[in-house]
């Protein structure tokens, strides 16, 4: 069974940093691209970042480019999102999601999400 479990969320002050993790199991992690998607309270979905299986291709939304860094450790079946210079508008539930093996660029499995609140 595919499982994705996020951790690392919490309350953080504006301008500070936070690192999210996503533990993957139930599939060959290194064979799949992975994404971070976020959802502000009461709002819609926003794609944040993508990394392919070898970390050779990485993409970011303009809203986080230069502030967030996606990475992965295939030996530990783990995905990360290093978030710096956090702003109030980064407050959201952050989901890690698996890229589909068939047509790509969408998400067939999601974690339960971890809430990041940026506030003083």
Determine if 36 is a binding residue for other proteins (CB under 8 A): no
The answer to whether the beta carbons of residues 52 and 33 sit under 8 Å apart is: yes
The answer to whether the beta carbons of residues 117 and 87 sit under 8 Å apart is: no
Paired strand residues for 93: 39, 115
Paired strand residues for 19: 82
Among 45, 55, 88, 89, interactor with other proteins by CB under 8 A: 45
Of 74 and 100, the one with the shorter C-beta distance to other proteins is 100
Of 16 and 113, the one with the shorter C-beta distance to other proteins is 113
Determine if 95 is a binding residue for other proteins (CB under 8 A): yes
CA distances from 49 to 26, 62, 83, 120 (A): 22, 10, 11, 26
Q: How many residues does the chain have?
A: 120
Determine if 27 is a binding residue for other proteins (CB under 8 A): no
Among 111, 114, 116, 118, interactor with other proteins by CB under 8 A: 111
Q: Which stretch binds other proteins (CB under 8 A): 10-18, 26-34, 39-47, 69-77?
A: 39-47
DSSP 3-state helix, strand, coil percentages of the chain (rounded to 5)? 10, 50, 40
Site residues (CB under 8 A) for other proteins?
35, 44-47, 50, 59-62, 95, 97, 100, 102-108, 110-113
């Amino acid at each position: 069974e595919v499982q994705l479990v996020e951790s690392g969320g919490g309350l953080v002050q504006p301008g500070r940093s936070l690192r999210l993790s996503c533990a993957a199991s139930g599939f060959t992690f290194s064979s799949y691209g992975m994404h971070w998607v976020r959802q502000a309270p009461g709002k819609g979905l926003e794609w944040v970042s993508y990394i392919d299986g070898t970390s050779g291709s990485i993409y970011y939304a303009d809203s986080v480019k230069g502030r967030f860094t996606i990475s992965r450790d295939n030996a530990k079946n783990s995905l990360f999102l290093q978030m710096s210079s956090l702003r109030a508008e980064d407050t959201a539930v952050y989901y890690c999601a698996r890229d589909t093996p068939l047509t790509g660029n969408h998400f067939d499995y999601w974690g339960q999400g971890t809430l990041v609140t940026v506030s003083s």
